[in-house]
C-alpha cells in the first residue's frame, strides 16, 4: 500500500467488500456497487493534485475542491447504461458470476466510458449553447464555472480517462488494446460531432444561410454512426471483449458481430433522441431540446423534407435554425401535421424486429444476451 492515499485505500476496500458481500451484488444489475467504484476512482484522481510539485497547499486545496465538485456533477447522474454494459459484457463472456477483482476491473472500465461521455457532453453543451443537462444547469452554465472553465474542464475529463487506465491496467495484457479503443472511439466521435455541428456550415464567422438540401438521411446516418454508435454502444462491448482476452487480430468475428449490432442499435437510439428532443417535456427529458434552433440535421427534419408540400417546406425555410420561440413552435406544429410521431412509432417497431433478428443470428448464442440487454435498455425509452 506504499504510495497510496489512505482514503483511496479505504474506498477501494469498501468497493471491493461491497462487491464480495454477496455474489448477487457482483453484477451489472447493481448500480450501488458500481457507484462505489466511481467514488474510489474520484478519490484517486483528486489525490493526484497533492502530488503536483511547486504548488502551495492552498492552491492544491482549491483544485481538489473544484474538481471534486466537477467530477460529481458531470460524470455520474445519468442512466449509466454505457458503463454497466461493460460489466454485463464481461459477465456474458465469462458465463459465470464475476470474482471480486473482475467486477472491480469491469466497473473501472465502465466508468471510463462514463468519463468519456462526460467529456463529450460538457463540450457538446457549450457548442450547442444548451441550457440544462440531466435536470440541472449545464456544467458551463454554473456561475462558478463559465464557458472558459468549461472548455478546460472538458479537456481534463478526457485526460483523466488515461490516468485511470494507466493506474489500473498498465500491467494487463490487453492494456494497449484498451488504450487504442478509447483513442479510436474519441476520434470517431469527434468526426461525427463535426458533421453534426456543420449541418449548416459557417462562413465569415457566422452560420451560412440555411441550405435544406444538406439535410439528407445519408448525411444523417453517417453522422449518427460516428457521433453516437461507436461510443454509446460499440465501445462498451469491445472493452468487455478486450478485457476477456479476445484478440481482434486472431478472433475478429466477435468484434465484427458486435459492430454490426451496435451500428443498428446506435442509429435507433439517436433517432429516439431526436424525437424526444422535439416532443418530450423538458422535466421528463432532463434537458431543453435545441435541435431546431441549432439547425441540426436531425431525423425529424430529414423525414419531413421527404414528405412536405412546397408550402410546408417554406415553413422550414422561414423558421428552421432560428432562435425564435414562435418559429420553433411552427416547426414542431409542422412535425405534428406530418404525423412524424406515428412515422417514428412504425419505425421503432420495425427496428425492434430487425434488431431481434440480427441478435438471433449471433454465434455463440451466449453472446446474444449482451445485445438483448442493450436493446431492453433503449426500447420504448421516454428519456
User: So which residues are the catalytic ones?
Assistant: 79, 119, 124, 128, 133, 196, 227, 269, 273-274
Best CA proximity match to 160, nearest among 3, 43, 4: 43
Residues 6+ apart with CB under 8 A from 51: none
Do 176 and 162 form a contact (C-beta atoms < 8 A)?
no
Enter the C-alpha cell of residue 220.
444523417
Helix (H) or strand (E) holding 202: strand 202-203
Q: Which residues of 229-252 are buried (b: 16+ CB within 10 A; e: fewer)?
A: bbbbbbbbbbbbbbbbebebeeee
Question: What is the number of other CB atoms lying within 10 angstroms of the CB of residue 312?
Answer: 14
Do 338 and 304 form a contact (C-beta atoms < 8 A)?
yes
Sign of the dihedral through C-alpha 77, 133, 286, 182: negative
Parallel, antiparallel or unpaired: strands 202-203 and 206-207:
antiparallel
Amino acid at each position: 500500500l506504499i504510495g497510496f492515499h489512505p482514503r483511496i485505500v479505504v474506498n477501494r476496500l469498501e468497493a471491493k467488500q461491497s462487491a464480495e458481500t454477496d455474489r448477487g451484488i457482483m453484477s451489472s444489475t447493481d448500480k450501488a456497487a458500481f457507484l462505489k467504484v466511481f467514488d474510489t476512482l474520484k478519490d484517486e484522481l483528486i489525490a493526484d493534485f497533492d502530488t503536483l510539485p511547486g504548488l502551495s497547499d492552498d492552491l492544491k486545496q482549491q483544485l481538489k475542491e473544484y474538481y471534486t465538485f466537477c467530477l460529481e456533477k458531470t460524470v455520474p447522474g445519468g442512466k449509466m447504461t454505457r458503463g454497466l454494459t461493460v460489466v454485463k459484457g464481461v459477465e456474458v463472456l465469462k458465463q459465470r458470476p464475476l470474482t471480486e477483482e473482475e467486477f472491480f476491473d469491469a466497473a473501472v472500465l465502465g466508468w471510463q466510458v462514463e468519463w468519456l461521455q462526460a467529456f463529450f457532453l460538457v463540450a457538446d453543451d457549450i457548442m450547442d449553447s444548451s441550457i440544462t443537462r440531466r435536470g440541472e444547469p449545464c456544467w458551463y452554465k454554473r456561475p462558478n464555472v463559465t464557458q472558459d472553465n468549461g472548455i478546460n474542464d472538458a479537456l481534463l475529463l478526457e485526460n483523466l480517462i488515461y490516468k485511470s487506465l494507466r493506474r489500473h491496467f498498465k500491467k494487463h495484457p490487453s492494456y494497449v488494446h484498451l488504450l487504442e479503443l478509447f483513442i479510436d472511439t474519441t476520434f470517431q466521435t469527434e468526426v461525427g460531432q463535426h458533421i453534426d455541428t456543420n449541418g449548416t456550415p459557417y462562413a465569415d464567422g457566422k452560420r451560412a444561410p440555411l441550405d435544406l438540401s444538406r439535410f439528407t438521411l445519408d448525411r444523417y446516418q453517417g453522422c449518427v454512426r460516428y457521433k453516437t454508435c461507436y461510443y454509446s454502444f460499440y465501445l462498451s462491448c469491445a472493452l468487455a471483449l478486450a478485457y476477456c482476452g479476445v484478440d481482434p487480430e486472431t478472433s475478429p468475428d466477435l468484434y465484427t458481430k458486435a459492430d454490426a449490432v451496435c451500428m443498428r442499435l446506435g442509429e435507433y437510439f439517436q433517432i429516439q433522441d431526436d424525437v424526444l428532443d422535439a416532443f418530450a417535456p423538458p422535466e421528463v427529458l432532463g434537458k431543453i431540446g435545441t435541435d431546431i434552433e441549432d439547425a441540426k440535421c436531425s431525423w425529424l427534419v430529414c423525414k419531413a423534407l421527404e414528405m412536405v408540400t412546397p408550402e410546408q417546406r417554406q415553413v422550414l425555410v422561414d423558421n428552421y435554425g432560428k432562435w425564435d420561440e414562435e418559429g420553433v413552435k411552427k416547426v414542431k406544429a409542422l412535425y405534428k401535421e406530418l404525423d412524424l410521431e406515428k412515422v417514428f412509432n412504425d419505425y421503432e417497431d420495425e427496428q425492434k424486429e430487425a434488431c431481434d433478428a440480427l441478435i438471433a443470428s449471433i454465434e455463440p448464442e451466449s453472446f446474444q444476451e449482451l445485445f438483448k440487454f442493450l436493446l431492453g435498455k433503449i426500447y420504448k425509452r421516454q428519456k
